[in-house]
Structure 1
Amino acid sequence: MKVIHIITGLNDGGAEAVLYRLCDFDKYDEHIVISMMGKGKYGPLLENIGVKVYCLDMPAGKIQFAALIKLYKLIRQLKPDVVQTWMYHADLIGGMIARFAGVKNIVWGVHHTTLVKGESKRSTILIAKLNALISSFIPRKIIYCAEKSRQVQESIGFSPKIGHVVPNGYNIDDFKPDLDAGMAFRQEVGLAEEKFLIGHVGRYHPFKDYPTLVNAVSLLTKEKSALKVVMVGGDLTTDNTQLNQLIKDNICTERITLLGRRNDITAVMNGFDLFVLSSVSEAFPNVLNEAMACGTPCVTTDVGDAAVIVGDTGWVVPPRNPQALANAMLEAIEEKQNNSQAWQARKHACRERIVNNFSIEKMVEGYQKVWFN
């Protein structure tokens, strides 16, 4: 079957990574990707695995009539068996253009959960509401990456009759325990001697709630003065004046190391003793799966399907609660220091939970069932 994917852009992000993995591991169908913006990070990677990538080159936040005509012509020319759209903007624009082009088998992909006033863009909230209005007649089906996402979207008006949950899947051969890679990462960043290294991978965004994370680290240093925390991801650098001021205000400059974006995330996850997610909004946080597949226990806020992913292998705390986050991190530190047998069992359970529930094979099968049934 021929599948056209229409996505807002191909920069570094969770949904973009899922699209790449889906195209890479589905050997039965032909995949073509249309980015409403540019090639970003994943365009060249997709081309390297033989996926044709087209770009509409629309600027962020602007719709160009010529680009819509190009999209219409591409769909007519390529004659797909299914059009799979990714995220709100592509669901709206890609879905409507595909319908005008005569495609009936349109599947929306939703990778948001809650829309927070003041933190979500106004345009994103507006598009979500527009999508709710047209969800009963543009898509044939809707794929949500998390059960929580489905519940939230249906509560704002998305058609409840056509929703399906397909959890994100991971290549458990790419993300796996690797002590040597983890130690090499720690040595490179000058933290090889640390007995317990807390880590975070994300991007600088209000949803990630860095004030809560940094405040929790500040509280934790009162119990563990030798604490070290590493943050990896977009804009998590010393050039980010807002983040650096936050760290200084909480007297954490000596505790927190900012490394920015890296391409060796498997080594990074293996280098951490504990992974921490402090978000106020997520759908199906990929980073938890990546950490756990490497055998790294997690502390997470109770957002989206985070609790479903972690299960009983880690710690789940309320959002916006620095003290609860600090307490959970302290529990993890003390378990590793005082009960190494329980800690090793926890690490093993993390890996097993991802292998048994969130493999890439299960995800590909889930998408195919929705597309062709």
Structure 2
Amino acid sequence: MKIDLNQTEIKSGVKHKIKILFITTGLNSGGAEVMLLSLLSSINRDRFEPSVISLLDKGIYGEKIEQLDIPVYCVEMLEGKPTINSAWRTTKLIKQVKPDLIQGWMYHANLAAQFFNFFVAPKTPVLWSIHHSLHAISAEKPLTQGVIRFGSWSSRYVAQVAFVSEKSQAQHQQIGYSKVNSCVIPNGFDTSKFKPSAEIRQKFRQELHIDEHTFLIGSVARYHAMKDHANFLRAAHLLLAEYPETKFVMVGTNVDYENQALTSLIDTLGIGDNVYLLGQRSDIPQITPALDILTSSSAYGEAFPLVIGEAMCSEVPCVVTDIGDSGWIVSDTGKIVPPKNSTALAQAWQEVITMDTSAKADLGRLARNRIIDKFSLISIVNQYEHLYQSMID
């Protein structure tokens, strides 16, 4: 059956959109969840009819997806504890939606998509999407390790595995993931949403009560061991010995003053007057352009960090640890340092601080141009659409 570029046609001649059921582990804060929202916001609704199952709850993005007139179904599974009731509910939902394609989104949901496909819709193509790198599988939680290893065996039985980065693809294939049915589709960025803004810079700095000339270094990452917030703070302590007026802002779920691990380390380092913990924020586009440097200090686990590309869109130079494809994204538009090395991180910050104003501005422009050339959201969504269409053709 021949499928035209704009609509899928069924034998009756009636126009039929391709129904895609996205099964995601959850919809809370995280780069994979943000990318899912971006994809659903931009996918061609004349050709595709998406719906979403969250194995957990609606999180912070469920309502935003529903505002796109896309149904979101929540299984309300307890994290790491599938039950007969949750399995039955998922089964009923798949039968109700009757998808043409099932797209798993993140490790646990990938396996769930494959499992329910086998028992409920065995003729429906299943695709996986992997948003994680494997710097050290031993660093993952025991359950996640098991899911990853089982995935290495079962990956050969799905229609396609889409990795978010080349490094992630290579790392997974080294532990047995199929090389036959895989591709790389990186994250994409909306350059109209993230862009430089003197107005935003001034407004956010007023919120922090700092002036235009105070050097501000930022981190946007949920609290998790792999994000290595301690590395960021120890590097801040080292930099402040040379540049005591520098300020640091940290944004992310549980990155707030109720986090005793963070506040204790800040107190021990004696840097409390220079560090702002803002917790989870929904207005990241109103924060990023106010920074002088954006840093990803992760120790492991990153594949293709969205926050890096968002900062580059905003013409903010990035200093990142060499985890996943972070270094490839930044390339020569910022600084790349080894993970778990606070001295190297502080030194890279210092190198940017000591650049003259025009050189820093040039670096920012190079960063934005790189995103436009390589990682525009429109281009990435087109790649997903082409993949989905190819599964039906």
TM interval, short-chain normalised: over 0.9
Give the C-alpha shift of residue 194 in structure 1. 4.3
Q: Which moved more, 1:23-32 or 1:114-123?
A: 114-123
Equivalent positions of 1:75-86 (< 5 A) are 75-86=94-105
Task: Choose which of 124, 131, 136 in structure 1 pairs with 2:151.
Answer: 131
C-alpha separation in 1, matches of 2:316 and 2:242? 22
Name the counterpart of 1:296: 316
Match of 1:366 in 2: 383
CA-CA distance at 1:14 after TM superposition: 0.9
Shift of 1:221: 1.3
Separation of aligned partners in 1, 2:307 and 2:119: 37
Q: 1:73 aligns with which of 78, 92, 98?
A: 92
- Rounded to whole Å, the distance in 2 between the matches of 1:115 and 1:127 is 16
Deviations 1:71-97 (A, max 9, x none): 222222322121000111111112110
What amino acid is the match of 1:300?
V
- Decide whether the 8 Å contact of 1:178 with 1:267 is kept in 2: no
CA distance in 2, matches of 1:219, 1:118: 30
TM-score, with length taken from structure 1? 0.96
Displacement of 1:299 after TM fit? 0.1
Partner of 2:33: 16
3-state SS in 2 of match to 1:5: strand
1:315-348 per-residue CA deviation (whole Å, 9 max, x = no partner) reads 001111111100100011111xxx2221111111
Paired residue for 1:190?
Answer: 209
Equivalent position SS for 2:273: coil
Offset at residue 308 of structure 1 (A): 1.3
TM-score (norm 2): 0.91
SS at the partner of 1:89? Answer: helix
**Structure 1 residue corresponding to 2:353, chosen from 325, 333, 338:** 333
Query: Displaced runs of 4+ in structure 1, greater than 6 A?
Result: none
**Which residue is 1:244 aligned to?**
263
Aligned partner of 1:346 among 363, 379, 388: 363
Deviations 1:4-39 (A, max 9, x none): 000011111111111111111012311100011111
Contact 2:239 2:350 in 1 (8 A): yes
Given that residues 104 and 140 in structure 1 are in contact (C-alpha distance below 8 angstroms), is that contact kept between their aligned partners in structure 2?
A: no
* TM-fit CA distance, 1:246: 1.1
Distance of 1:355 and 1:117 partners within structure 2: 33
Is 1:114–2:134 an aligned residue pair? Answer: yes
The structure-2 alpha-carbon separation of the partners of 1:250 and 1:103, relative to structure 1 and needing over 3 Å to count, comes to farther
1:258 Cα deviation from its structure 2 partner = 0.9
Gaps of 5+ in 1: none
Q: Distance in 2 between matches of 1:244 and 1:113?
A: 29
SS at match of 1:311: helix
Work out whether residues 202 and 290 of structure 2, in 8 Å CA contact, stay in contact via their aligned partners in 1.
yes
Q: Say whether 1:310 aligns with 2:327.
A: no
Deviation at residue 193 of structure 1 after TM alignment: 4.7
Superposed CA deviations along residues 190-211 of structure 1, whole A, max 9, x for unmatched, are 1235431111111111001122
- For 1:151, the equivalent position in structure 2 comes to 170
The 2-side partners of 1:190 and 1:75 are apart by: 51
Give the aligned residue type for 2:30: G
- Secondary structure of the residue aligned to 2:366 is helix
Equivalent pairs: percent with the same residue? 37
d(CA) in 2 for partners of 1:314 and 1:276?
Answer: 10
| Count of matched residue positions in the alignment of Structure 1 and Structure 2 | 369
* 1:168 paired residue among 187, 196, 201: 187
- Taking structure 1 as reference, are residues 160 and 118 closer, same or farther at Cα in structure 2, changes over 3 Å only? closer
In structure 2, the partner of 1:54 is 73
**What's the C-alpha RMSD, in Å, of the aligned pairs?**
1.3
d(CA) in 1 for partners of 2:353, 2:377:
31
